[in-house]
């Protein structure tokens, strides 16, 4: 492999000749051999750094044109556009398990953009610290990258998948609005419910989760950029914070603002904890929905068997013909992972000692993983399972009319205690509710038929 010599304040370092990163990135690359190739800093953060470095250059150009010239801005902007496109991903090799401030990832961005910008300009025009990092510190850029990555992930990935699954459930509600089945509480038989009503519970849960996520978004849109090292804004020109927030808004098409208190923005991660709490709520609801679906589809002969779901792949290497609810299982595993991520994020956010939180890489690593897993699992569940849910109307009818909890309809006519006696006799002797009620003398057969209508109990 060919190398070139780069240098930083600590001296010279050999760097692969075909890579845009510089000395500080290389030091981190060599010093943190933890999760290499597996737990690389999320690409969402790489993209966010492209956004914020371009925004910073734009703000600096308007406030310090003698330092951020037109020529520099043009080279930086083009390099940042390439970072945002993902075409320079191979030049961002650093792992999550590095300095807790994300300093090395900030310098990775500075070095790549500077070297690529110099290549674009055809000369040594840009310096990683003096130009790309102008008016900034790692301590305010990494929190800003977290905010950008989190907002884009929630608005562009999670919410659209919630909407798509909600639409699917609405279609199933319309399709099965006249199908009545037995309800269940405590995993025991309960009074009747329409299948559409059961589905509406799933749909409404997702709609509520979307509302909770949207409540979290305004707080995430407050950017730390402009606070520099400790929140005082040292070495940043007046108005830089508002100018850079405006530039970030224009680049992303989403409304970001500057954080009103930079000391809070650098050290506290309460906004990301709150937002991930909404993701945990979504995960909890997806766990419930997936479990409901696989229980209702259990069987095909010895389970509930009230719905049929698509058969996507063989389910056993030894039992021929077996098919399993694999999409549901994937969703439940994702939900478990997201709940674990929430514990990590909560603990990491509590470590904001003095003027800086130094657990930021692991916070955004877990957050972006939750975003990806939830959005992708919802899409997979919708496409490969939910759209193909079919009610087994015959099984639903049989289960409904075999349910002892239909006796609840008799309460107004024979009273709670007599209804309980009817249930116990029917269960013990394996006879129908009608037979038990008539045998006990509580109602005549004719009167029973007059008042007993399960389909009207919904």
Measured in Å, how far apart are the chain's first and last C-alpha atoms? 73
What whole-number percentage of the chain has pLDDT above 70? Answer: 100
Check: CB of residue 382 under 8 Å from CB of residue 167.
no
Name, in order, each residue with C-beta under 8 angstroms of 58's C-beta and a sequence gap of 6 or more: 73, 77, 243, 244, 247
Strand partners, 16: 3
Residue 294: predicted pLDDT:
98
Check: CB of residue 239 under 8 Å from CB of residue 198.
no
Mean pLDDT of the chain: 97
b/e per residue 331-349 (b: at least 16 CB within 10 A): bbebbebbeebbebbbebb
Q: Give the pLDDT mean for 379-385.
A: 98
Q: pLDDT tens-digit profile of 56-82? A: 999 999 999 999 999 999 999 999 999
Q: pLDDT tens-digit profile of 388-433? A: 999 999 999 999 999 999 999 999 999 999 999 999 999 999 999 9
> DSSP label at 42?
P
CA angle (98 as vertex; 94, 99 as ends), nearest 5 = 130
Q: pLDDT tens-digit profile of 174-228? A: 999 999 999 999 999 999 999 999 999 999 999 999 999 999 999 999 999 999 9
> DSSP label at 299?
-
Residue 442: predicted pLDDT:
97
Residue 101: predicted pLDDT:
97
Walk me through the domains of the chain, giving residue ranges and CATH numbers: 3-134 (1.10.275.10), 149-178+194-219+260-392 (1.20.200.10), 403-457 (1.10.40.30)
Residue 1: predicted pLDDT:
83
Q: 264 an active-site residue? A: no
Candidates 316, 317, 375, 401; catalytic one:
316
C-alpha 217 chain-centroid distance:
13
**Number of DSSP helices (H) and strands (E) in the chain, helices first:** 17, 10
Candidates 186, 204, 249, 268; catalytic one:
186
Q: 370 an active-site residue? A: no
Q: Which two tokens stand for residue 264?
A: 């809070």
Q: pLDDT tens-digit profile of 22-36? A: 999 999 999 999 999
Residue 455: predicted pLDDT:
87
Residue 263: predicted pLDDT:
98
> DSSP label at 40?
B
Q: Which two tokens stand for residue 303?
A: 């389970």
Check: CB of residue 104 under 8 Å from CB of residue 24.
yes
Residue 274: predicted pLDDT:
98
Q: Give the pLDDT mean for 360-380.
A: 98
């Amino acid at each position: 492999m060919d190398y070139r010599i780069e240098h930083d304040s600590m001296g010279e370092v050999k760097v692969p000749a075909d890579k845009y990163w510089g000395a500080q990135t290389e030091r981190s690359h060599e010093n943190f051999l933890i999760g290499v190739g597996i737990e690389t800093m999320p690409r969402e953060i790489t993209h966010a750094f492209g956004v914020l470095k371009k925004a910073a250059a734009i703000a600096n150009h308007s406030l310090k044109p003698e330092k951020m010239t037109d020529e520099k801005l043009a080279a930086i902007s083009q390099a940042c556009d390439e970072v945002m496109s993902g075409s320079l991903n191979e030049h961002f090799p650093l792992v999550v398990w590095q300095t807790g401030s994300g300093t090395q990832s900030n310098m990775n961005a500075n070095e790549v953009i500077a070297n690529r910008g110099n290549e674009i300009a055809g000369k040594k025009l840009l310096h990683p610290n003096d130009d790309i990092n102008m008016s900034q510190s790692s301590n305010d850029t990494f929190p800003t990258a977290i905010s950008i990555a989190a907002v884009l992930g929630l608005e562009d990935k999670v919410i659209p998948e919630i909407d798509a699954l909600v639409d699917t459930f609405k279609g199933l509600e319309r399709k099965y609005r006249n199908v009545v089945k037995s309800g269940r509480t405590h995993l025991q038989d309960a009074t009747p419910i329409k299948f559409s009503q059961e589905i509406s519970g799933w749909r409404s849960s997702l709609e509520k989760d979307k509302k909770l996520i949207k409540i979290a978004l305004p707080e995430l849109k407050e950017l730390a950029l402009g606070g520099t090292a400790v929140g005082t804004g040292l070495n940043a020109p007046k108005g830089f914070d508002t100018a850079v927030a405006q530039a970030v808004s224009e680049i992303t098409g989403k409304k970001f603002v500057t954080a009103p208190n930079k000391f809070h923005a650098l050290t506290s991660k309460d906004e990301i904890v709150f937002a991930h709490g909404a993701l945990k709520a979504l995960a909890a609801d997806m766990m419930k929905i997936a479990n409901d679906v696989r229980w209702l589809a259990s069987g095909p002969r010895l389970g509930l068997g009230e719905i049929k779901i698509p058969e996507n792949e063989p389910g056993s290497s030894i039992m021929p013909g077996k098919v399993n609810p694999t999409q549901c299982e994937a969703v439940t595993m994702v939900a478990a992972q997201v709940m674990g991520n929430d514990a990590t994020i909560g603990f990491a956010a509590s470590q904001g000692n003095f003027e800086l939180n130094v657990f930021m890489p692991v916070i955004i690593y877990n957050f972006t993983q939750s975003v990806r897993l939830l959005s992708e699992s919802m899409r997979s569940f919708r496409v490969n399972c939910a759209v193909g849910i079919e009610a087994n109307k015959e099984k639903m009818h049989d289960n409904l009319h075999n349910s002892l909890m239909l006796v609840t309809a008799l309460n107004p006519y024979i009273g709670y205690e007599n209804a309980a006696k009817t249930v116990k006799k029917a269960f013990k002797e394996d006879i129908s509710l009608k037979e038990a009620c008539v045998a006990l003398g509580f109602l005549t057969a004719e009167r029973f038929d007059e008042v007993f209508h399960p389909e009207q109990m919904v």
